[in-house]
């Protein structure tokens, strides 16, 4: 029961179990987040958007990589927005970060706003993946980059690894070919994917 209550809050955390899930994600996703962010050459003046920012750990990590730029985090969970604001309190106070309630389906930003858009462990929950990738494409600057990071890569070695989570949340793990195709279909170019040996981690980077 505890497992189900916790995992059921992975998509849109709320209430007591949502708080536990956010804390779990902030701790459990540190490794995959740091590894994924290594695949972007962040510049000191970049404007960055983190879609599905969860508890705000990735926003904090990216803030450390930029100087005069700014990191925006959006999430459609009110609890995540609250927790992310708390974690990034100092970054927000100094104008280096901003956290807001919003969905990947309708980003509250003008066209050509960001140098980089990241999405870490959130793609699985998007309602219309190609349309949502196109929405991100819209807010990216020309030559801007998207970075998608996944823990749930489906591999030939252990194709059933994520079966329990998939059934509980009604989501699907991903494959490299699927992500490459989705990015290409959404209009991105220079699509590259990376995996880490000994894990089911996948990182995909592409350019507008």
Percent with pLDDT over 90 in the chain: 67
Instruction: Return the structure tokens found at 125.
Output: 């929950």
- Split at pLDDT 50, 70, 90, the class of 205 is very high
Q: Mean pLDDT score of the chain, rounded to an integer?
A: 87
**The predicted structure's pLDDT at residue 25:** 55
| Overall domain count for the chain | 1
CATH of the domain at 115: 3.40.50.150
Separation in Å, CA 106 to CA 6, 23, 206: 27, 26, 21
Comparing C-alpha atoms, which of 166, 204, 165 is closest to residue 184?
204
Give, as one character, the DSSP assignment of residue 149.
E
Comparing 170 with 92, the larger pLDDT belongs to 92
- Split at pLDDT 50, 70, 90, the class of 76 is confident
Taking phi over 0 as left and psi of -120 to 50 as alpha, with beta for the rest, 47 belongs to beta
Is a pLDDT exceeding 70 seen at residue 2? Answer: no
Q: DSSP per residue over 32-71, as a string? A: HHHHHHTTS---TT-EEEEES-TTSHHHHHHHTT-SS-EE
How do residues 142-183 score in pLDDT, each as one tens digit? 999 999 999 989 988 888 888 887 877 777 999 999 999 999
Comparing C-alpha atoms, which of 143, 144, 152 is closest to residue 176?
152
pTM over the 0.85 mark = yes
Q: Give the domain range for residue 33.
A: 2-207
- Lowest-pLDDT choice from 71-75, 154-158, 196-200: 154-158
Spatial separation of the C-alpha atoms in residues 18 and 2, rounded to whole Å: 12
The helix/strand/coil state of 38 is coil
Comparing C-alpha atoms, which of 188, 151, 157 is closest to residue 28?
151
Q: What are phi and psi of 74, to 5 degrees?
A: -125, 145
**The predicted structure's pLDDT at residue 29:** 63
């Amino acid at each position: 029961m505890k497992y189900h209550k916790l995992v059921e809050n992975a998509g849109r955390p709320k209430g007591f179990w949502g708080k536990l899930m956010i804390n779990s994600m902030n701790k459990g996703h540190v490794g995959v987040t740091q590894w994924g962010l290594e695949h972007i050459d962040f510049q000191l003046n970049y404007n960055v958007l983190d879609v599905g920012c969860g508890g705000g750990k990735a926003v904090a990590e990216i803030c450390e990589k930029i100087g005069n730029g700014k990191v925006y985090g959006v999430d459609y969970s009110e609890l995540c927005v609250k927790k992310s604001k708390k974690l990034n309190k100092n970054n927000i106070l100094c104008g280096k970060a901003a956290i807001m309630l919003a969905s990947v389906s309708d980003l509250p930003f003008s066209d050509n706003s960001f140098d980089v858009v990241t999405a870490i462990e959130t793609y699985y929950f998007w309602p219309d993946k190609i349309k949502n990738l196109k929405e991100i494409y819209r807010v990216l600057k020309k030559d801007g980059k998207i970075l998608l990071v996944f823990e749930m890569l489906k591999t030939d070695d252990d194709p059933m690894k994520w079966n329990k989570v998939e059934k509980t949340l009604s989501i699907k793990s991903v494959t490299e070919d699927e992500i490459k195709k989705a990015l290409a279909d959404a209009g991105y170019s220079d699509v590259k994917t990376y995996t880490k040996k000994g894990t089911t981690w996948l990182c995909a980077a592409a350019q507008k």
